[in-house]
Amino acid sequence: MGTPEFPELGKHCSLPHCKLIDFLPFTCDRCNQVYCLDHRSYTNHQCTISNKNDVTVVICPLCGKSVRLIPDQDPNITWEHHVNTDCDPSNFEKVTKKKRCPATGCKEILVFSNTIKCRDCMVDHCLKHRFGPDHKCPGPKKSESSFSFTNPFNRSVNEKSKPNSTSTASSKWTSSLLNMASSIRASAEQVWQTTKDGVGQSSSSGNRNDQLEQCPQCGAKFSSVTTLVDHVQKVHERNGNQSKVKKVDVAACPKCSRGFVDPVALVEHVERDHGGSSR
């Protein structure tokens, strides 16, 4: 065997009736014996443990699961272990039932290569019915939780905002009315003070009693129209006599603030006491 230069080159075939020297021998991966080119396969050298690394799977008829048989173990023992520990007959329909396209009239079995999920309804369909009009797609699903949550919330907010808006509007109207009344009263008092210190005092120093304003209800006299108006509001209107008090239009002199019921009397007063000029 071999050559003088390579004495260990080549090996004999392990078969007793062959014993052929092969310089490129083959080693069996099951029995680890050396064979020549003609006897390298399992069947040619009749390998006794050729099924050592084989994988044999049996489908259980009860649960539909796959059971792997161990090469060095009795198949009956493997089967009994599966039946006692892992077998579940209720899982048979789920495993064996094939998924089909849900389109009307379609019986296409859905596998990995022909399954497409619709982007709107998120349901798997076959290639033929992958578009929405082909499988009558209902469209994207609406989120009912957000709708039921926001609708009563908005309604409650609107119901609460209605009385607030009404009260706000009324408060604004009342405040504007009070501001207007206070500004009118302040201007009237300013005019009355100017008249008292200036022209009104010099022109009516001898006839002060003639310029006093008289209340048409109780006969009380006042030095200005503003004090007369305050007296009527405080005394007669607050005592429940508002319906009995007659509304009298009083015209005030722009110069001395003297009030006149008759406009003609006001004109005569201006011409007589102020030289016919209201400025």
Q: Are 195 and 255 a contacting pair, CB within 8 Å?
A: yes
Cα distance between residue 169 and residue 179, in whole Å: 15
According to the model, what pLDDT value does residue 205 have? 44
According to the model, what pLDDT value does residue 127 have? 92
Cα distance between residue 46 and residue 111, in whole Å: 41
According to the model, what pLDDT value does residue 36 have? 92
Domain ranges of the chain: 8-50, 53-97, 99-141
- Between CA 9 and CA 19, with CA 13 as vertex, the angle to 5 degrees is 100
Confidence (pTM) = 0.28
According to the model, what pLDDT value does residue 87 have? 87
Amino acid at residue number 26: F
Amino acid at residue number 268: E
C-alpha dihedral, 29 to 33 to 36 to 41, nearest 10°: -40
Token pair 């082909």 is found at: 134
According to the model, what pLDDT value does residue 241 have? 47
C-alpha dihedral, 153 to 157 to 158 to 161, nearest 10°: 180
State the SS3 of the chain.
CCCCCCCCCCEECCCCCCCCEECCCEECCCCCCEECCCCCCCCCCCCCCCCCCCCEEEECCCCCCEEEECCCCCHHHHHHHHHHHCCCHHHHHHHHCCCECCCCCCCCECCHHHCEECCCCCCEECCCCCCHHHCCCCCCCCCHHHHHHHHHHHHHHHHHHHHHHHHHHHHHHHHHHHHHHHHHHHHHHHHHHHHHHCHHHHHCCCCCHHHCEECCCCCCEECCHHHHHHHHHHHHHCCCCCCCCCCCCCEECCCCCCEECCHHHHHHHHHHHCCCCCC
Q: Which fold has domain 8-50?
A: Zf-an1 domain (4.10.1110)
Cα distance between residue 238 and residue 218, in whole Å: 14
Cα distance between residue 60 and residue 62, in whole Å: 5
According to the model, what pLDDT value does residue 277 have? 57
According to the model, what pLDDT value does residue 148 have? 47
Tens of pLDDT, residue by residue, the chain (279 residues): 556 677 677 888 999 899 888 888 899 988 889 999 999 988 888 888 776 667 788 888 888 888 888 877 888 898 888 889 888 888 887 777 788 899 988 989 898 889 999 998 999 999 999 998 898 898 887 655 444 444 555 555 455 544 454 556 556 656 766 777 677 777 666 656 655 555 444 444 444 445 567 787 777 777 777 787 888 777 777 655 444 445 556 777 877 877 777 777 878 888 888 876 545
pLDDT tens digits, 52-101: 667 788 888 888 888 888 877 888 898 888 889 888 888 887 777 788 89
Cα separation values, 137 from 104, 115, 174, Å: 12, 16, 61
